[in-house]
Amino acid sequence: MPVVEATALCGARSSIQFIAHDPAADLAALGPLAERCGRFSPWVGWDTLGGRGAADWQESKFAGLTLLESPSALLLDIQGIVSHFGDEAAFASEVQREFCSAGYEVVLGLAETIGAAWALAFADEQNFPETSTNNVRLSPPLNWQQLPIELLRLLPETTELLHRLGVMYIDQLLRLPRQELPARFGSLLLRRIDQALGNVAEWVVPYRPVPKWEVERRLDYPLTRRDILEEILQQLLSQLGALLRQQDLGAMQLECRLAGEGKSLRLEVGLCRPSASPQRMWELLRLPWERTPLVGPIDRLELRVLRTGRLSSEQRELFIDLHDTSEPHDLIERLTGRLGKEAVGRPLLRAEVLPERSFQVRSLTGGNVARTVSKDRKKPKPAATLFASEDPQPPAGWLPWQRPLTLLPPRAIQVRCEPGGAPLLLGWSAGEEEVVRSWGPERLETGWWRGRTVRRDYYRVETAAGRRYWLFRNLVTGEWYWQGSF
């Protein structure tokens, strides 16, 4: 449901917390769960609304993951397997116990086809009064054709279009002329209907875990000397680099763990370009290493590559052009290595009314998956393309003086105004400044869908001293705030 609806349900005083959905994090967590299901079936995979399955999952391809491509369920082919667990109920119970131990609550749907099983798992419980127990749906309800069309794994825009035409349930959809469906709604709709009914075959495409690129060294006795630990780390980097080069891969995100006596230390570096060079990886790893104190004697060292990339995409220059004006990757990696991924990035403009929300900073290393904060499932938009992807531009019509170059957290200020509302006198703590010119008001207000409404009238003012500030009056409270300087 929308945020504003959730807030209204919980009440204004509730301590509700909103966390942006991260499809990439969900996908990263799904892999290990799929591996756990390996004891129940040799064929474990998933499907998405957009039709991308587990076979398409490669780390390098999932930059810019959207909700449309985010798996919502695991699929297990259990043909010929259930009997080893007794019956379907016992099998389902075992699966639930496995997920419960991992901290998850699951709803299971067992059916003859993937489409039917998916529909069972996602249908409301009220549709299964007799056959459903403890979130296990072993057979479809008698009135399954009166289930909503969303259970057919349709694309959101297809569902919306059908709703506008008054088609809400499966039986209504089945009464439509079949031959006209592809032309009006695309080929996927007909395929989903046939998959649910079992008219076309559908298989579980198994998930194959990505090889783990990691090396480890356990010491015979704990060490505290940093120079020796550095030597060992560099040896491990050489081993890791050799492993990666065999597959023509390079590291884009590297994790280093040092542990001993129950304590551990974790370092992480990101790269702009894949690299299997031990020297390069050490040059970046050394930056956080030098600034991090040891937690105690170390008896285990691990290096793990969290994200890889093809080495063949790396530009190999025989002579480095010092006047190369392309992206300074080395600088970005060094800055990120020492300051952290959150401290280095590229500013991106956002189509937000409030100035403090009108931009974001995106990290440039680690094969960072672009977070797509889309509240509209029907039209997912990667944040980086809200404006022109090559060179984001401010809104059309903006003049250079439109916004201050220094934006501050709003600070309360005393202002004497004209009857029309324009500022006349600014009251600072150290004295007053007369306003000789002002431009405004420019009204900025958020929509109701953003939750609590923010309404501000902004003024650009010039004082007798020639200084210019950006002020606003909160139209709800009437108070004045200083938010920027030109």
Within residues 342-401, the interface with other proteins by CB under 8 A covers: 342-349, 355, 358-359, 361, 364, 390-394, 398-401
Residue type, 393: Q
- Cβ of 323: how many Cβ atoms within 10 Å? 4
Q: Which residues of 414-424 are buried (b: 16+ CB within 10 A; e: fewer)?
A: ebeeeeeebbe
Cβ-contact 54, 34 below 8 angstroms? yes
Counting contacts by CB under 8 A, is residue 13 touching other proteins? Answer: no
Going by C-beta distance under 8 Å and a sequence separation of 6 or more, which residues neighbour residue 353?
A: 444, 445, 446
Smaller CB distance to other proteins: residue 346 or 378?
Answer: 346
Q: Which of 126, 246, 315, 325 binds other proteins (CB under 8 A)?
A: 325
Span from 61-69, 171-179, 373-381, 437-445 in contact with other proteins (CB under 8 A): 437-445
Return the residue of 330, 382, 444, 454 that touches other proteins, per CB under 8 A. Answer: 330
Q: Which residue has the tokens 């200083």?
A: 482
Tell me which stretch binds other proteins (CB under 8 A): 138-146, 181-189, 245-253, 425-433. 425-433
Q: Taking CB under 8 A as the rule, does residue 326 contact other proteins?
A: yes
Report the candidate in 94, 147, 98, 158 with the shortest Cα–Cα distance to residue 118.
147
Distance from the Cα of residue 327 to its chain's centroid: 25
Q: Is 64 one of the binding residues for other proteins (CB under 8 A)? A: no
Cα–Cα dist 466/463, whole Å: 5
Q: Which of 97, 323, 448, 477 binds other proteins (CB under 8 A)?
A: 323
**For residues 110 and 138, what is the distance between their CA atoms, to the nearest angstrom?**
5
Q: Does position 296 bind other proteins by CB under 8 A?
A: no
Q: Is 272 in the site for other proteins (CB under 8 A)?
A: no
Q: Which is nearer to other proteins, 201 or 322 (CB)?
A: 322
Stretch that binds other proteins, among 11-19, 173-181, 232-240, 462-470 (CB under 8 A): 462-470
CA distance 444 to 138: 54
Q: Which listed residue (25, 63, 210, 339) binds other proteins by CB under 8 A? A: 339
Judged by CB under 8 A, does residue 486 bind other proteins?
yes
Cis peptide before 423 (omega within 30 of 0): no
314 binds other proteins (CB under 8 A): no
CB 284 within 8 A of CB 332: no
Alpha carbon distance 485, 461 (integer Å): 10
122 versus 359: smaller Cβ distance to other proteins? 359
Q: What SS3 state is found at 9?
A: helix
The helix (H) or strand (E) run that includes residue 295 is none
Contact 63, 385 (CB under 8 A): no
Residue (203 or 428) nearer to other proteins, CB:
428
Q: By C-beta, is 246 or 325 nearer to other proteins?
A: 325
3-state SS, residue 392: coil
Token reading at 230: 């550095």
Contact flag: residue 101 with other proteins (CB under 8 A): no
Nearer to other proteins, 82 or 407 (CB): 407
Q: At what angle do helices 114-122 and 187-197 cross, to 10 degrees?
A: 90
Q: Of 54, 91, 438, 472, which lies in the binding site for other proteins, with binding defined by CB under 8 A?
A: 438
Give the helix/strand (H/E) hosting 230.
helix 226-246
What residues numbered 121-160 form the site for other proteins, per CB under 8 A? none
Contact between 407 and other proteins (CB under 8 A)? Answer: yes
**Sign of the four-CA dihedral 283, 284, 290, 294:** negative
Q: Please, which residue, 203 or 401, has the CB nearer to other proteins?
A: 401
Residue 166 sits in the site that holds other proteins (CB under 8 A): no
Q: Rule CB under 8 A: say whether 466 interacts with other proteins.
A: yes
Among 43, 57, 213, 469, indicate the residue that binds other proteins (CB under 8 A): 469
Shortest separation between residue 353's beta carbon and other proteins, angstroms:
12
Which residue among 334, 377, 450, 455 contacts other proteins (CB under 8 A)? Answer: 334
- Contact status: 429 vs other proteins (CB under 8 A): yes
